[in-house]
């Protein structure tokens, strides 16, 4: 039996936490599914994953101007902290059927990786260094300027 997909809004503007369709099978193993058209508001242009993160290193630590991302802990665990300049939320990614949709202009950091952590990311855009905001204070300044 495949469990249905569910989605909830995060406290952070535009972020959605998704429980993907999944099936548990003690005999054959488990399965999680991303139906792109159902879950993603974009067509993935890039896929990458982080792994073998040493010690307590933090990955991410940036926002994108245009790119949206969907993050899933394919293996192991990590903590995803998101920030829209006003509100923050931290989500423990500890099951491969949980994904987080992070829209543009949301600061994101992944930390607390287990030794076996593999964080899979589907991105709406190809890599473009100009799309990144890597300084948190600059991000907050930009968010204040564009806030209604």
Asked if the model's pLDDT at residue 133 lies above 90, the reply is yes
- Contact predicate 21/5, CB 8 Å: yes
pTM across the whole model: 0.93
The share of the chain scoring above pLDDT 90, in percent, equals 80
pLDDT-based confidence at 28, cuts 50/70/90? confident
Annotated catalytic, 125?
A: no
Q: Is residue 117 pLDDT above 70, yes or no?
A: yes
Q: Are 30 and 24 in contact (CB under 8 A)?
A: yes
Q: What pLDDT was estimated at residue 52? A: 96
Considering only 20-24, 56-60, 69-73, 125-129, which range has the smallest mean pLDDT?
Answer: 20-24
pLDDT at residue 12, rounded to an integer: 97
Over range 85-110, report the average pLDDT: 97
For the residues 20-35, what does the mean pLDDT come to?
A: 87
For residues 34 and 136, what is the distance between their CA atoms, to the nearest angstrom?
Answer: 31
Instruction: Reply yes or no on whether the pLDDT at 148 is more than 70.
Output: no
Buried b (16+ CB within 10 A) or exposed e, 25-55: eeeeeeebebeeeebbebebeeeeebeebee
Which domains are delineated in the chain?
A: 9-19+40-146 (2.60.120.10)
- Average pLDDT score over residue span 101-108: 98
Res. 121 pLDDT band, cuts 50 70 90: very high
Q: Which of 62, 75, 125, 137 is catalytic?
A: 62
């Amino acid at each position: 039996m495949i469990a249905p997909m569910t989605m909830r809004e995060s406290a952070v503007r535009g972020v959605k936490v998704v429980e993907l369709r999944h099936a548990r099978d003690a005999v054959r193993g488990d399965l999680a599914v991303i139906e792109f058209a159902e879950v993603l508001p974009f067509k993935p242009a890039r896929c990458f994953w982080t792994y073998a993160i040493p010690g307590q290193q933090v990955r991410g630590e940036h926002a994108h101007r245009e790119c949206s991302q969907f993050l899933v802990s394919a293996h192991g665990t990590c903590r995803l902290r998101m920030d829209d300049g006003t509100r923050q939320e931290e989500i423990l990614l500890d099951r491969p059927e949980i994904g987080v949709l992070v829209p543009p202009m949301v600061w994101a950091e992944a930390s607390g990786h287990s030794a076996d952590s593999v964080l899979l990311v589907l991105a709406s855009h190809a890599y473009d260094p100009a799309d990144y905001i890597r300084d948190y204070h600059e991000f907050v300044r930009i968010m204040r300027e564009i806030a209604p």
